[in-house]
Amino acid sequence: MRAIIPSLAALAVAAAIVPAVTAPAWARDSVSIGMTLEPPILDPTAGAAAAIGEVTYQNIFQGLTQIDAAGQVVASLATSWSVSADGKTYTFHLAKGVVFSDGEKFGCDDVKFSLDRARGKDSVNPQKALFAPIASVACPDAATAVVTLGQPTASFLFGMAMPAAVIVAPGSAAGDKTKPVGTGPYMLGNWVKGDHVTLVRNPKYSGKAPAMASATFRFIADPAAATAAMLAGNLDAFTLFPAPEAIAQLKADKKLRVEIGSTSGKIIVSLNEAKKPFGNLLVRRAMAYAIDRNAYNQAVLDGYGTPIGSHDVPGDAGYVDLASTYPYNAAKAKQLLAQAGYPHGFAMTMVLPPPAYARRGGEVIAAMLGQVGIKVKLVDMEWAQWLSQAFTHHDYEATIVSHVEPRDLYQYANPHYYWNYHSATYDALYKKYQAATDPAAQLALWGDLQKQLAHDEPNIFLCAMPKIGVWNANLRGMWKNALITVDIVGQMSWAK
């Protein structure tokens, strides 16, 4: 209790000072939020950049379902739904009285339009795979949508909660890239390209009017500039703060609140199994033993990450902790390498995209692998080159990358994916998971998938990416954890 009193006093002092230097807190109904990258467009059904979802998801656009702060799928435009016993037919009961921000009425025809457009031949939806299971969409009446799947798909409702699956209207969809029209509580105010996007209340929103009248998203790529903007009070919040090294400084500032949570980012050393010697399980396990995940976490993520042992994160409901599958053991690594036919190690090249987890992380990983005789040559690449060379043309041996899509275990069943992992056992297990209709069985199988990956170690799983959030101590409604990058302005408010 004694520890609380001084901090309460400090808060009171801070609360007394802050209104004096900035706008009066009781009158504030706007918020300014920092983000590192600018959304190129504002239509999440036409571009993959996470920044598009961060600005628009649940603010401008809504989906049939949505992801909540706990990572669960909950109702959105569909207020409830039922699933047939064979797991193939989903009947969605739609919210009534909902209107798009341009005045168009929302109904089942919009759902049908959005889903058919996303899975159509000319679709440029970045997550088209989410819609692949859909066989047909029917509208028995304006408030009911019946979606029939070709086969049961356990991940379907989760997929429909993704930003790429939001509902758009036939009349306005083509213009959504620059003039987004959705059913959410906010709409586009103005967009000064390269500087900020401002959202304002949507007067036609059918629900309760949100507390914030407007929200400004400012784009600040430079970590030092982001730190300065938070310290100077130019920003109220930074959801994915880019400078972990500045956290101690920000924590010392009583006007700010720092929350370290989890994202769905999985930092992995991707190995190209089509290249020698990475097709050899013994070599992959040797590398897994040679890498000290805790040391990586300390050196690269300032200790804010969580070591992982498979392709899932602690924030996911079905997460299984497998981080100790290959505990750091250099002697064991050398022994496995010798067993694999590489008693003196081997030479390899690792390509590194720009983020610090890869560039700084690459140095750390190379040093660790060097300890067991694996000589790593590091090659820096910018994203465009990485995507083209490593990701598309599979012209790489190893790389470090954070896979940010939530629940993306399906990529290990994709034979064309850039890591070239092929396992009949895994593919069968994945089919079984998708076909499961009972939630408990789905969860158990989800765990089995992770265990299978830990066993096969197709990639070296390093750490779950931390979500370093920084915001004004008086701001309410920010999320600590997030499976997808969001800023739900409708939930934000200023403390009285």
Partner 1 sequence: MTGFLLRRLLGLALMLVAASLVVFAVMNVLPGDPALLMLGTGASRATLAALRHQMGLDLPLWQQYLRWAGGLLRGDFGISYTYQTPVAGLILARLGVTLPLAAMSIGLAVAIAIPVGVVAATHQGKAADAALMGAAQLGVAVPNFWLGLLLILLFAVRLGWLPASGFPGWSGGLGAGLAALLMPAVALALPQAAILARVTRSAVIEAAGEDYVRTARAKGLAARAAIWGHALPNALIPVVTILGFQFSYLLAGTVVIENVFTLPGMGRLLFQAIAGRDLITVQDIVVLLTGSVIVVNTLVDLAYAAIDPRVSLAGMPGRDDEG
Binding site for partner 1 (CB under 8 A): 21, 38, 40-41, 47-49, 121-129, 177-178, 192-196, 218-222, 224-225, 228-229, 231-234, 382-385, 387-389, 391-392, 403, 405, 408
Smallest separation (angstroms) from partner 1 to the CB of 392: 6
The residues, any chain, with a CB within 8 Å of residue 464's CB and separated by 6 or more, are 262, 263, 265, 266, 267, 305, 306, 307, 308, 313, 314, 315
> What is the Cα–Cα distance from 469 to 244, expressed in whole angstroms?
10
Min dist. Cβ of residue 146 to partner 1 (A): 26
Query: Per DSSP, what are the bridge partners of residue 144?
Result: 93, 141
CB of 493 to partner 1, least distance (A): 24
Q: How far is the CB of 84 from partner 1 (least distance, A)?
A: 28
Query: 3-state DSSP call for residue 269?
Result: strand
For 36-120, list the strands marked E by DSSP: 65-67, 73-75, 78-83, 89-94
Q: Which is nearer to partner 1, 346 or 417 (CB)?
A: 417
Q: Which is nearer to partner 1, 226 or 453 (CB)?
A: 226
Question: Which residue number, 84 or 385, has a Cβ lying nearer to partner 1?
Answer: 385
Residue closer to partner 1, measured from CB, 43 or 456: 43
Which one, 38 or 316, has the nearer CB to partner 1?
A: 38
Cβ 90 to partner 1, closest distance in Å?
22
Contacts of residue 290, Cβ cutoff 8 Å, sequence gap at least 6: 328, 330, 333, 368, 369, 371, 372, 374
- Given the complex with partner 1, which of 3 and 21 has the nearer CB atom? 21
Nearer Cβ to partner 1 (204/403):
403
383 exposed, middle or buried (CB, 10 Å; 0-12, 13-18, 19+)?
A: exposed
- What tokens does 21 get? 């230097």
**For residue 212, which phi and psi values (nearest 5 degrees)?**
-80, 130
- Judged by CB, which is closer to partner 1: 321, or 405? 405
The answer to whether 312 and 412 have CB atoms below 8 angstroms apart is no
Find the shortest distance in angstroms from Cβ 49 to partner 1: 7
CA pair distance 72, 81, nearest whole angstrom = 15
Token look-up 């790529």 returns: 221
| Length in residues, the chain | 496
Contact 327, 370 (CB under 8 A): no
Q: How many CB atoms lie within 10 A of CB 198?
A: 17
Give min distance, CB of 215 to partner 1, in A: 15
Residue 393 Cβ vs partner 1, minimum distance, rounded to whole Å: 9
- The two three-digit tokens of residue 42, written as one number: 């504002």
* Minimum gap (Å) between residue 201 Cβ and partner 1: 20
Nearer CB in complex with partner 1: 207/354 = 354
The dihedral region occupied by 122, where left means phi > 0, alpha psi between -120 and 50, and beta the remainder, is: alpha
